[in-house]
Structure 1
Amino acid sequence: MVKNKWYVHPVIAVGVIINVFVMALAILWKGDQAQMWRLLVEDGIVEWMQFLCFAATSGLLAFLAVEQWQRTPKVNLQLLAFVGLSALVALAALEEVSWFQRILHIASPEYFLTHNRQSETNLHNLALGKGSLHKTILLKLIAIVGLTHNIILPLLARKRPGVQRFVESFGLYLPPLSASVIYIALVAVSHLVVDHPRKGELGEMFGAVHYMTTVFGAYFMGVGYGKPPVFEQPADARRVSTLFVMLMAFLLMTGWLLSAGAGAPQYLASHPITAPNTD
Protein backbone atom coordinates (compact mmCIF):
# COMPACT_ATOMS: atom_id res chain seq x y z
CA MET A 1 0.00 0.00 0.00
CA VAL A 2 1.31 3.44 -0.96
CA LYS A 3 1.04 5.63 2.13
CA ASN A 4 2.39 8.86 0.66
CA LYS A 5 0.28 11.98 0.66
CA TRP A 6 -2.02 12.24 -2.37
CA TYR A 7 -0.06 15.17 -3.81
CA VAL A 8 3.13 13.09 -3.84
CA HIS A 9 1.52 10.65 -6.27
CA PRO A 10 0.97 12.12 -9.75
CA VAL A 11 -2.08 9.93 -10.46
CA ILE A 12 -4.12 11.61 -7.72
CA ALA A 13 -2.58 15.04 -8.14
CA VAL A 14 -3.45 15.26 -11.85
CA GLY A 15 -7.16 14.84 -11.07
CA VAL A 16 -7.03 17.67 -8.55
CA ILE A 17 -5.16 19.90 -11.01
CA ILE A 18 -7.68 19.30 -13.81
CA ASN A 19 -10.64 20.00 -11.54
CA VAL A 20 -9.06 23.19 -10.19
CA PHE A 21 -8.27 24.28 -13.76
CA VAL A 22 -11.90 23.85 -14.90
CA MET A 23 -13.15 25.64 -11.78
CA ALA A 24 -10.78 28.51 -12.54
CA LEU A 25 -12.15 28.67 -16.09
CA ALA A 26 -15.70 28.86 -14.77
CA ILE A 27 -14.77 31.73 -12.45
CA LEU A 28 -12.80 33.52 -15.16
CA TRP A 29 -15.64 33.19 -17.69
CA LYS A 30 -18.60 33.74 -15.38
CA GLY A 31 -19.14 37.25 -16.76
CA ASP A 32 -19.20 35.98 -20.35
CA GLN A 33 -22.40 34.07 -21.05
CA ALA A 34 -21.19 32.84 -24.44
CA GLN A 35 -18.10 31.26 -22.89
CA MET A 36 -20.09 29.83 -19.98
CA TRP A 37 -22.54 28.15 -22.33
CA ARG A 38 -19.60 26.78 -24.31
CA LEU A 39 -18.27 25.33 -21.06
CA LEU A 40 -21.52 23.96 -19.61
CA VAL A 41 -23.91 23.41 -22.53
CA GLU A 42 -25.06 19.95 -23.62
CA ASP A 43 -22.12 18.34 -25.45
CA GLY A 44 -19.87 21.12 -24.17
CA ILE A 45 -16.42 20.84 -22.60
CA VAL A 46 -17.60 19.76 -19.16
CA GLU A 47 -20.12 17.19 -20.37
CA TRP A 48 -17.70 15.58 -22.81
CA MET A 49 -15.10 15.37 -20.03
CA GLN A 50 -17.69 13.62 -17.87
CA PHE A 51 -18.39 11.09 -20.61
CA LEU A 52 -14.73 10.43 -21.35
CA CYS A 53 -13.84 9.94 -17.68
CA PHE A 54 -16.85 7.72 -16.97
CA ALA A 55 -16.13 5.63 -20.08
CA ALA A 56 -12.46 5.26 -19.14
CA THR A 57 -13.32 4.40 -15.53
CA SER A 58 -15.76 1.74 -16.70
CA GLY A 59 -12.99 0.26 -18.84
CA LEU A 60 -10.57 0.29 -15.90
CA LEU A 61 -13.08 -1.52 -13.70
CA ALA A 62 -13.80 -4.08 -16.42
CA PHE A 63 -10.03 -4.68 -16.72
CA LEU A 64 -9.88 -5.20 -12.95
CA ALA A 65 -12.70 -7.76 -13.18
CA VAL A 66 -10.78 -9.74 -15.82
CA GLU A 67 -7.56 -9.43 -13.80
CA GLN A 68 -9.36 -10.59 -10.65
CA TRP A 69 -10.78 -13.62 -12.48
CA GLN A 70 -7.36 -14.54 -13.85
CA ARG A 71 -5.84 -14.32 -10.38
CA THR A 72 -8.70 -16.07 -8.59
CA PRO A 73 -11.14 -17.78 -11.00
CA LYS A 74 -14.18 -17.75 -8.75
CA VAL A 75 -17.12 -15.45 -8.08
CA ASN A 76 -16.51 -13.36 -4.95
CA LEU A 77 -17.40 -9.91 -3.63
CA GLN A 78 -14.37 -8.31 -5.28
CA LEU A 79 -15.32 -9.63 -8.71
CA LEU A 80 -18.98 -8.69 -8.29
CA ALA A 81 -17.97 -5.18 -7.20
CA PHE A 82 -15.78 -4.67 -10.28
CA VAL A 83 -18.40 -6.02 -12.70
CA GLY A 84 -21.29 -4.13 -11.09
CA LEU A 85 -19.44 -0.83 -10.84
CA SER A 86 -18.15 -1.13 -14.41
CA ALA A 87 -21.72 -1.57 -15.70
CA LEU A 88 -23.02 1.27 -13.52
CA VAL A 89 -20.34 3.72 -14.65
CA ALA A 90 -20.83 2.71 -18.29
CA LEU A 91 -24.53 3.52 -17.89
CA ALA A 92 -23.63 6.92 -16.43
CA ALA A 93 -21.32 7.61 -19.39
CA LEU A 94 -23.99 6.79 -21.98
CA GLU A 95 -26.64 8.74 -20.10
CA GLU A 96 -24.42 11.82 -20.14
CA VAL A 97 -24.48 11.96 -23.94
CA SER A 98 -28.05 10.59 -24.25
CA TRP A 99 -26.70 7.40 -25.82
CA PHE A 100 -25.14 9.48 -28.66
CA GLN A 101 -28.62 10.53 -29.79
CA ARG A 102 -27.70 14.15 -30.49
CA ILE A 103 -24.42 13.27 -32.20
CA LEU A 104 -26.08 10.69 -34.47
CA HIS A 105 -29.19 12.85 -35.02
CA ILE A 106 -31.58 10.12 -33.86
CA ALA A 107 -35.13 11.27 -33.09
CA SER A 108 -36.55 10.37 -29.68
CA PRO A 109 -39.30 7.72 -29.52
CA GLU A 110 -42.79 8.94 -28.62
CA TYR A 111 -42.46 7.80 -25.00
CA PHE A 112 -39.41 9.96 -24.35
CA LEU A 113 -40.91 12.94 -26.20
CA THR A 114 -43.81 12.75 -23.76
CA HIS A 115 -42.14 11.74 -20.50
CA ASN A 116 -38.58 13.10 -20.73
CA ARG A 117 -38.13 16.70 -19.55
CA GLN A 118 -35.64 17.35 -22.34
CA SER A 119 -37.41 15.15 -24.93
CA GLU A 120 -34.23 13.05 -25.12
CA THR A 121 -33.64 9.32 -25.05
CA ASN A 122 -32.23 8.97 -21.55
CA LEU A 123 -33.43 7.81 -18.16
CA HIS A 124 -32.10 10.45 -15.77
CA ASN A 125 -34.27 13.24 -17.20
CA LEU A 126 -37.53 11.30 -17.06
CA ALA A 127 -40.25 13.43 -15.50
CA LEU A 128 -40.99 12.67 -11.87
CA GLY A 129 -43.66 14.92 -10.41
CA LYS A 130 -42.65 18.55 -10.97
CA GLY A 131 -39.01 17.64 -11.44
CA SER A 132 -36.98 14.88 -13.02
CA LEU A 133 -35.61 11.56 -11.79
CA HIS A 134 -32.16 13.17 -11.78
CA LYS A 135 -33.09 16.12 -9.58
CA THR A 136 -35.68 14.46 -7.37
CA ILE A 137 -33.83 11.26 -6.48
CA LEU A 138 -30.42 10.77 -8.11
CA LEU A 139 -28.78 14.03 -7.00
CA LYS A 140 -29.78 13.42 -3.37
CA LEU A 141 -28.55 9.83 -3.52
CA ILE A 142 -25.26 10.88 -5.14
CA ALA A 143 -24.75 13.56 -2.45
CA ILE A 144 -25.31 11.06 0.40
CA VAL A 145 -23.08 8.38 -1.13
CA GLY A 146 -20.42 10.93 -2.12
CA LEU A 147 -20.15 12.50 1.33
CA THR A 148 -20.16 9.10 3.05
CA HIS A 149 -17.51 7.61 0.77
CA ASN A 150 -15.25 10.65 0.53
CA ILE A 151 -15.51 12.27 3.96
CA ILE A 152 -17.27 10.22 6.64
CA LEU A 153 -15.68 6.81 6.05
CA PRO A 154 -12.11 8.13 5.47
CA LEU A 155 -12.39 10.17 8.67
CA LEU A 156 -13.58 7.11 10.61
CA ALA A 157 -10.81 5.01 9.07
CA ARG A 158 -8.16 7.37 10.46
CA LYS A 159 -9.10 6.39 14.00
CA ARG A 160 -10.45 2.93 13.30
CA PRO A 161 -8.35 1.07 10.68
CA GLY A 162 -10.93 -1.70 10.73
CA VAL A 163 -13.29 0.58 8.79
CA GLN A 164 -11.00 0.52 5.76
CA ARG A 165 -10.60 -3.25 5.98
CA PHE A 166 -14.39 -3.61 6.19
CA VAL A 167 -14.91 -1.43 3.09
CA GLU A 168 -12.22 -3.30 1.16
CA SER A 169 -13.79 -6.64 2.09
CA PHE A 170 -16.66 -5.69 -0.24
CA GLY A 171 -14.24 -5.04 -3.11
CA LEU A 172 -14.40 -1.26 -2.62
CA TYR A 173 -11.79 1.35 -1.61
CA LEU A 174 -11.54 4.64 0.25
CA PRO A 175 -10.15 7.67 -1.63
CA PRO A 176 -7.44 9.83 0.00
CA LEU A 177 -9.13 12.21 2.44
CA SER A 178 -7.13 15.27 1.34
CA ALA A 179 -8.08 14.82 -2.33
CA SER A 180 -11.69 14.16 -1.33
CA VAL A 181 -11.88 17.37 0.71
CA ILE A 182 -10.69 19.35 -2.32
CA TYR A 183 -13.27 17.59 -4.52
CA ILE A 184 -16.15 18.36 -2.15
CA ALA A 185 -14.89 21.93 -1.67
CA LEU A 186 -14.82 22.51 -5.44
CA VAL A 187 -18.40 21.25 -5.75
CA ALA A 188 -19.47 23.67 -3.00
CA VAL A 189 -17.58 26.59 -4.57
CA SER A 190 -19.12 25.88 -7.98
CA HIS A 191 -22.60 26.20 -6.49
CA LEU A 192 -21.80 29.32 -4.46
CA VAL A 193 -19.73 31.29 -6.98
CA VAL A 194 -21.05 30.33 -10.42
CA ASP A 195 -24.38 31.85 -11.43
CA HIS A 196 -25.57 29.69 -14.29
CA PRO A 197 -28.59 27.38 -14.78
CA ARG A 198 -26.29 24.48 -15.63
CA LYS A 199 -23.67 25.00 -12.92
CA GLY A 200 -24.46 21.53 -11.52
CA GLU A 201 -22.56 20.06 -14.48
CA LEU A 202 -19.32 21.27 -12.88
CA GLY A 203 -19.84 19.15 -9.78
CA GLU A 204 -20.63 16.11 -11.92
CA MET A 205 -17.42 16.58 -13.88
CA PHE A 206 -15.40 17.03 -10.69
CA GLY A 207 -16.79 13.70 -9.50
CA ALA A 208 -16.03 11.92 -12.79
CA VAL A 209 -12.40 13.10 -12.73
CA HIS A 210 -11.98 12.45 -9.01
CA TYR A 211 -13.23 8.89 -9.24
CA MET A 212 -11.26 8.04 -12.36
CA THR A 213 -8.01 9.07 -10.70
CA THR A 214 -8.74 7.56 -7.28
CA VAL A 215 -9.95 4.27 -8.78
CA PHE A 216 -6.72 4.03 -10.77
CA GLY A 217 -4.66 5.19 -7.81
CA ALA A 218 -6.14 2.63 -5.41
CA TYR A 219 -6.55 -0.51 -7.47
CA PHE A 220 -3.66 -0.09 -9.91
CA MET A 221 -1.08 1.84 -7.84
CA GLY A 222 -2.07 0.90 -4.28
CA VAL A 223 -2.57 4.51 -3.10
CA GLY A 224 -4.18 4.15 0.33
CA TYR A 225 -5.29 0.62 -0.56
CA GLY A 226 -4.69 -2.35 1.72
CA LYS A 227 -4.74 -5.13 -0.89
CA PRO A 228 -2.08 -5.85 -3.55
CA PRO A 229 -2.47 -3.46 -6.51
CA VAL A 230 -2.18 -4.44 -10.17
CA PHE A 231 1.28 -2.88 -10.47
CA GLU A 232 3.31 -3.93 -7.44
CA GLN A 233 6.76 -3.29 -8.86
CA PRO A 234 7.88 0.34 -8.31
CA ALA A 235 9.43 0.67 -11.77
CA ASP A 236 6.26 -0.55 -13.51
CA ALA A 237 4.08 1.66 -11.31
CA ARG A 238 6.19 4.72 -12.14
CA ARG A 239 5.97 4.14 -15.89
CA VAL A 240 2.23 3.50 -15.83
CA SER A 241 1.64 6.56 -13.65
CA THR A 242 3.38 8.72 -16.23
CA LEU A 243 1.22 7.26 -19.00
CA PHE A 244 -1.90 7.86 -16.92
CA VAL A 245 -1.04 11.53 -16.39
CA MET A 246 -0.59 11.88 -20.14
CA LEU A 247 -3.95 10.15 -20.70
CA MET A 248 -5.77 12.58 -18.38
CA ALA A 249 -4.30 15.57 -20.22
CA PHE A 250 -5.33 13.96 -23.51
CA LEU A 251 -8.90 13.42 -22.27
CA LEU A 252 -9.22 17.09 -21.33
CA MET A 253 -7.93 18.14 -24.75
CA THR A 254 -10.29 15.66 -26.45
CA GLY A 255 -13.29 16.95 -24.52
CA TRP A 256 -12.39 20.48 -25.56
CA LEU A 257 -12.06 19.49 -29.22
CA LEU A 258 -15.32 17.52 -29.21
CA SER A 259 -17.16 20.52 -27.77
CA ALA A 260 -15.82 22.67 -30.61
CA GLY A 261 -16.88 20.16 -33.24
CA ALA A 262 -20.22 18.45 -33.65
CA GLY A 263 -21.35 18.92 -30.05
CA ALA A 264 -21.85 22.34 -28.51
CA PRO A 265 -22.19 24.36 -31.76
CA GLN A 266 -25.07 22.17 -32.94
CA TYR A 267 -26.84 22.44 -29.60
CA LEU A 268 -26.39 26.20 -29.39
CA ALA A 269 -27.60 26.62 -32.96
CA SER A 270 -30.96 25.13 -32.01
CA HIS A 271 -31.22 26.50 -28.44
CA PRO A 272 -31.12 30.17 -27.44
CA ILE A 273 -28.20 31.14 -25.23
CA THR A 274 -30.59 32.12 -22.46
CA ALA A 275 -32.22 28.69 -22.36
CA PRO A 276 -33.28 27.91 -18.77
CA ASN A 277 -32.61 24.18 -19.14
CA THR A 278 -30.87 22.98 -15.98
CA ASP A 279 -31.04 19.20 -16.22
Structure 2
Amino acid sequence: MQKNKIGGLEKIVLIIVFVLMVIGIIAAWVDKTWFLESYVEEDGFIEDLTLVPLAILTLTSLILLVKYARKKNIWFFLTYFFIALGSFFVLGEEISWGQRIFKFQTSEYFREHNTQDEENIHNLIVDGEKLNKIIFTDVLIAGVAIYLIVIPRLYNKKPGFKNFIDKAAFPVARLYQIIGCLLVFGLSFLTFDSKGAELLEFGSSTMFMLIVLNPLNKEARA
Protein backbone atom coordinates (compact mmCIF):
# COMPACT_ATOMS: atom_id res chain seq x y z
CA MET A 1 0.00 0.00 0.00
CA GLN A 2 1.28 3.46 -0.88
CA LYS A 3 2.22 5.58 2.08
CA ASN A 4 -0.83 7.84 1.99
CA LYS A 5 -3.32 5.72 0.07
CA ILE A 6 -6.51 5.12 2.05
CA GLY A 7 -7.82 1.56 2.01
CA GLY A 8 -11.48 0.74 1.43
CA LEU A 9 -12.19 -0.31 5.01
CA GLU A 10 -10.44 2.78 6.35
CA LYS A 11 -12.60 4.99 4.14
CA ILE A 12 -15.73 3.39 5.57
CA VAL A 13 -14.50 3.87 9.15
CA LEU A 14 -13.53 7.48 8.49
CA ILE A 15 -16.93 8.22 6.94
CA ILE A 16 -18.70 6.67 9.95
CA VAL A 17 -16.58 8.67 12.40
CA PHE A 18 -17.17 12.03 10.77
CA VAL A 19 -20.85 11.42 10.01
CA LEU A 20 -21.46 10.57 13.68
CA MET A 21 -19.50 13.61 14.81
CA VAL A 22 -21.45 15.91 12.48
CA ILE A 23 -24.72 14.39 13.74
CA GLY A 24 -23.56 15.14 17.27
CA ILE A 25 -22.71 18.74 16.42
CA ILE A 26 -26.04 19.34 14.69
CA ALA A 27 -27.91 17.68 17.56
CA ALA A 28 -26.12 19.88 20.09
CA TRP A 29 -27.34 22.95 18.20
CA VAL A 30 -30.84 21.79 17.28
CA ASP A 31 -31.92 19.45 20.09
CA LYS A 32 -29.65 19.81 23.10
CA THR A 33 -31.83 17.56 25.25
CA TRP A 34 -31.57 14.61 22.83
CA PHE A 35 -27.86 15.26 22.42
CA LEU A 36 -27.22 15.15 26.17
CA GLU A 37 -29.74 12.53 27.25
CA SER A 38 -29.45 10.07 24.35
CA TYR A 39 -26.52 10.64 22.03
CA VAL A 40 -23.63 11.31 24.42
CA GLU A 41 -25.11 10.26 27.76
CA GLU A 42 -23.27 7.85 30.05
CA ASP A 43 -23.66 4.33 28.61
CA GLY A 44 -25.30 5.91 25.58
CA PHE A 45 -24.80 5.36 21.85
CA ILE A 46 -21.48 7.17 21.38
CA GLU A 47 -19.92 5.88 24.59
CA ASP A 48 -20.84 2.31 23.68
CA LEU A 49 -19.29 2.75 20.23
CA THR A 50 -16.07 3.98 21.85
CA LEU A 51 -15.61 0.53 23.36
CA VAL A 52 -15.23 -1.03 19.89
CA PRO A 53 -11.91 0.56 18.80
CA LEU A 54 -10.53 0.11 22.32
CA ALA A 55 -11.33 -3.60 22.23
CA ILE A 56 -9.83 -3.92 18.73
CA LEU A 57 -6.67 -2.11 19.84
CA THR A 58 -6.28 -4.42 22.83
CA LEU A 59 -6.87 -7.57 20.80
CA THR A 60 -4.67 -6.48 17.87
CA SER A 61 -1.76 -5.63 20.16
CA LEU A 62 -2.02 -8.96 21.97
CA ILE A 63 -2.11 -10.82 18.65
CA LEU A 64 1.00 -8.98 17.47
CA LEU A 65 2.76 -9.82 20.74
CA VAL A 66 1.94 -13.51 20.44
CA LYS A 67 2.83 -13.61 16.75
CA TYR A 68 6.05 -11.59 16.66
CA ALA A 69 7.41 -10.87 20.16
CA ARG A 70 9.80 -13.86 20.22
CA LYS A 71 11.11 -12.94 16.77
CA LYS A 72 11.58 -9.28 17.59
CA ASN A 73 13.22 -7.31 20.42
CA ILE A 74 12.38 -5.80 23.77
CA TRP A 75 11.37 -2.49 22.16
CA PHE A 76 8.78 -4.25 20.01
CA PHE A 77 7.46 -6.05 23.08
CA LEU A 78 7.23 -2.83 25.10
CA THR A 79 5.49 -0.96 22.26
CA TYR A 80 2.62 -3.39 21.89
CA PHE A 81 2.49 -4.36 25.55
CA PHE A 82 1.81 -0.73 26.49
CA ILE A 83 -0.65 -0.21 23.64
CA ALA A 84 -2.55 -3.29 24.81
CA LEU A 85 -2.32 -2.25 28.46
CA GLY A 86 -3.33 1.35 27.78
CA SER A 87 -6.25 0.38 25.56
CA PHE A 88 -7.48 -2.19 28.06
CA PHE A 89 -7.18 0.34 30.89
CA VAL A 90 -9.25 2.95 29.04
CA LEU A 91 -11.78 0.26 28.10
CA GLY A 92 -12.03 -0.78 31.74
CA GLU A 93 -12.45 2.82 32.84
CA GLU A 94 -15.23 3.37 30.30
CA ILE A 95 -17.30 0.58 31.84
CA SER A 96 -16.14 1.39 35.39
CA TRP A 97 -14.43 -2.00 35.52
CA GLY A 98 -17.65 -3.90 35.03
CA GLN A 99 -19.80 -1.89 37.41
CA ARG A 100 -22.01 -0.58 34.62
CA ILE A 101 -22.57 -4.14 33.38
CA PHE A 102 -22.91 -6.07 36.64
CA LYS A 103 -24.38 -3.21 38.69
CA PHE A 104 -22.32 -3.83 41.84
CA GLN A 105 -22.22 -1.16 44.54
CA THR A 106 -19.56 1.54 44.67
CA SER A 107 -17.01 1.12 47.44
CA GLU A 108 -16.78 3.71 50.20
CA TYR A 109 -13.58 5.33 48.90
CA PHE A 110 -14.98 5.89 45.42
CA ARG A 111 -18.30 7.13 46.83
CA GLU A 112 -16.38 9.82 48.68
CA HIS A 113 -13.85 10.78 46.00
CA ASN A 114 -15.43 9.97 42.63
CA THR A 115 -17.54 12.67 40.98
CA GLN A 116 -19.79 10.09 39.32
CA ASP A 117 -20.02 7.73 42.31
CA GLU A 118 -18.45 4.95 40.23
CA GLU A 119 -15.52 2.52 40.42
CA ASN A 120 -13.17 4.31 38.05
CA ILE A 121 -10.02 6.35 38.37
CA HIS A 122 -10.46 9.12 35.81
CA ASN A 123 -13.37 10.71 37.70
CA LEU A 124 -11.49 10.88 41.02
CA ILE A 125 -10.90 14.23 42.70
CA VAL A 126 -7.24 14.87 43.59
CA ASP A 127 -6.41 18.00 45.61
CA GLY A 128 -9.72 19.51 44.60
CA GLU A 129 -9.24 18.88 40.87
CA LYS A 130 -10.74 16.17 38.70
CA LEU A 131 -8.09 13.64 37.70
CA ASN A 132 -9.72 13.43 34.28
CA LYS A 133 -8.73 17.06 33.61
CA ILE A 134 -5.16 16.57 34.79
CA ILE A 135 -4.62 13.50 32.62
CA PHE A 136 -6.77 14.15 29.55
CA THR A 137 -6.51 17.93 29.32
CA ASP A 138 -2.93 18.61 30.30
CA VAL A 139 -0.81 15.48 29.88
CA LEU A 140 -2.71 13.86 27.00
CA ILE A 141 -2.80 16.95 24.77
CA ALA A 142 0.97 17.31 25.09
CA GLY A 143 1.47 13.61 24.35
CA VAL A 144 -0.83 13.70 21.32
CA ALA A 145 0.98 16.75 19.92
CA ILE A 146 4.30 14.92 20.20
CA TYR A 147 2.86 11.74 18.68
CA LEU A 148 1.11 13.39 15.72
CA ILE A 149 3.51 16.21 14.90
CA VAL A 150 6.97 15.69 16.38
CA ILE A 151 7.42 11.93 15.85
CA PRO A 152 6.31 11.84 12.16
CA ARG A 153 8.53 14.81 11.38
CA LEU A 154 11.58 13.28 13.06
CA TYR A 155 10.78 9.93 11.45
CA ASN A 156 10.96 11.50 7.98
CA LYS A 157 13.96 13.72 8.71
CA LYS A 158 16.28 11.76 11.01
CA PRO A 159 17.54 8.34 9.78
CA GLY A 160 18.77 7.32 13.23
CA PHE A 161 15.40 8.10 14.80
CA LYS A 162 13.62 6.27 11.96
CA ASN A 163 15.76 3.16 12.53
CA PHE A 164 14.92 3.11 16.23
CA ILE A 165 11.18 3.61 15.62
CA ASP A 166 11.18 0.83 13.03
CA LYS A 167 13.13 -1.43 15.35
CA ALA A 168 10.36 -1.03 17.91
CA ALA A 169 7.70 -1.15 15.15
CA PHE A 170 6.23 1.89 16.91
CA PRO A 171 3.19 2.89 14.79
CA VAL A 172 3.76 6.20 13.01
CA ALA A 173 0.71 8.08 11.76
CA ARG A 174 0.20 8.63 8.04
CA LEU A 175 -0.56 12.15 6.80
CA TYR A 176 -4.30 11.59 6.30
CA GLN A 177 -4.50 9.99 9.76
CA ILE A 178 -2.89 13.07 11.28
CA ILE A 179 -5.35 15.30 9.42
CA GLY A 180 -8.21 13.06 10.59
CA CYS A 181 -7.08 13.34 14.22
CA LEU A 182 -6.87 17.12 13.99
CA LEU A 183 -10.36 17.28 12.45
CA VAL A 184 -11.75 15.10 15.23
CA PHE A 185 -10.16 17.38 17.81
CA GLY A 186 -11.52 20.53 16.18
CA LEU A 187 -15.03 19.20 15.49
CA SER A 188 -15.51 18.05 19.08
CA PHE A 189 -15.45 21.68 20.24
CA LEU A 190 -18.23 22.74 17.85
CA THR A 191 -20.87 21.30 20.18
CA PHE A 192 -20.03 24.14 22.59
CA ASP A 193 -20.70 21.73 25.43
CA SER A 194 -18.42 19.81 27.77
CA LYS A 195 -20.11 16.58 26.62
CA GLY A 196 -18.46 17.13 23.27
CA ALA A 197 -15.61 15.29 25.00
CA GLU A 198 -17.56 12.07 24.39
CA LEU A 199 -17.30 12.69 20.64
CA LEU A 200 -13.60 13.41 21.07
CA GLU A 201 -13.07 10.14 22.93
CA PHE A 202 -14.93 8.18 20.26
CA GLY A 203 -13.20 9.88 17.34
CA SER A 204 -9.68 9.82 18.79
CA SER A 205 -9.94 6.17 19.87
CA THR A 206 -11.07 5.19 16.38
CA MET A 207 -8.34 7.22 14.70
CA PHE A 208 -5.68 5.66 16.92
CA MET A 209 -7.07 2.25 16.00
CA LEU A 210 -6.60 3.09 12.32
CA ILE A 211 -3.03 4.22 12.98
CA VAL A 212 -2.14 0.99 14.78
CA LEU A 213 -3.83 -1.17 12.14
CA ASN A 214 -2.23 0.63 9.21
CA PRO A 215 0.73 2.79 10.29
CA LEU A 216 3.18 4.49 7.95
CA ASN A 217 5.81 1.91 8.92
CA LYS A 218 3.59 -1.18 8.90
CA GLU A 219 6.27 -3.27 7.19
CA ALA A 220 8.57 -2.77 10.19
CA ARG A 221 6.60 -5.22 12.31
CA ALA A 222 6.43 -8.02 9.73
Assess same fold via TM > 0.5. Answer: yes
Q: How does 1:45-56 map to 2 (within 5 A)?
A: 45-56=45-56
Match of 1:80 in 2: 78
* Alpha-carbon contact 1:3-1:224 (below 8 Å) kept: no
Matched residue SS, 2:105: coil
Question: What's the counterpart of residue 123 of structure 1?
Answer: 121
- Kept in 2, the 8 Å contact 1:81–1:170? The answer is yes
1:42 and 2:42 equivalent? yes
Aligned partner of residue 148 in structure 1, secondary structure: helix
Query: What is the alpha-carbon distance in structure 1 between the residues aligned to residue 2 and residue 161 of structure 2?
Result: 17
Identity of aligned residues (%): 22
User: What is the aligned residue count?
Assistant: 220
Once the two structures are superposed, what CA deviation does each residue of 1:157-196 show, in whole Å capped at 9, x if it has no partner? 33345443332333412011222122112212221x1122
Greater shift in the superposed pair: 151-160 or 81-90? 151-160
Structure 2 SS opposite 1:99:
helix
Offset of residue 77 of structure 1: 1.4
Q: Which has the higher contact order (CA 8 A, sep 6+)?
A: 1
Is 1:199 matched with 2:196?
A: yes
- From 181, 185, 205, the equivalent of 1:208 is 205
Assess, with a 3 A threshold, how the Cα gap between structure 1 residues 214 and 6 changes in structure 2: closer, same or farther. farther
Q: Which moved more, 1:27-36 or 1:154-163?
A: 154-163
Partner Cα distance (2:221, 2:84) in 1: 20
> Which residue of structure 2 aligns with residue 103 of structure 1?
101
2:220 to 227, 247, 253: 227
Cα deviation, residue 141, structure 1: 1.6
**What is the rounded CA distance, in whole Å, between the counterparts of 1:146 and 1:137 in structure 2?**
12
TM-score, with length taken from structure 1: 0.72
Residue of structure 2 equivalent to 1:148: 146
**Structure 1 residues 63 and 159, CA, compared in 2 at 3 Å: closer, same or farther?**
same
Deviations 1:204-231 (A, max 9, x none): 111110111221113xxxx5434153xx
1:75 Cα offset (Å): 5.7
Give the whole-Å Cα distance in 1 for the aligned partners of 2:163 and 2:15: 29
Query: TM-score with structure 2 length normalisation?
Result: 0.89
Whichever residue aligns with residue 175 of structure 1, its letter is: A
Asked if the contact 1:165/1:226 (under 8 Å) is kept, the reply is no
**Cα distance, 1:155 vs. partner?**
2.9
SS of match in other structure, 1:227 = helix
CA distance in 1, matches of 2:20, 2:49: 10
Matches within 5 A, 1:1-279: 2-7=1-6, 9-30=7-28, 31-37=30-36, 38-69=38-69, 72=71, 76-191=74-189, 193-218=190-215, 223-229=216-222
Distance in structure 2 (CA, Å) of the matches to 1:162 and 1:185 = 31
- Which residues of structure 1 form unaligned runs of 5+? 230-279
Give the structure 2 partner of residue 255 of structure 1: none
Deviation string, structure 1 residues 33-84 (Cα, Å, up to 9, x no partner):
23212111111122112112111110100000000135x2x76211222122
Displacement of 1:133 in angstroms is 1.0
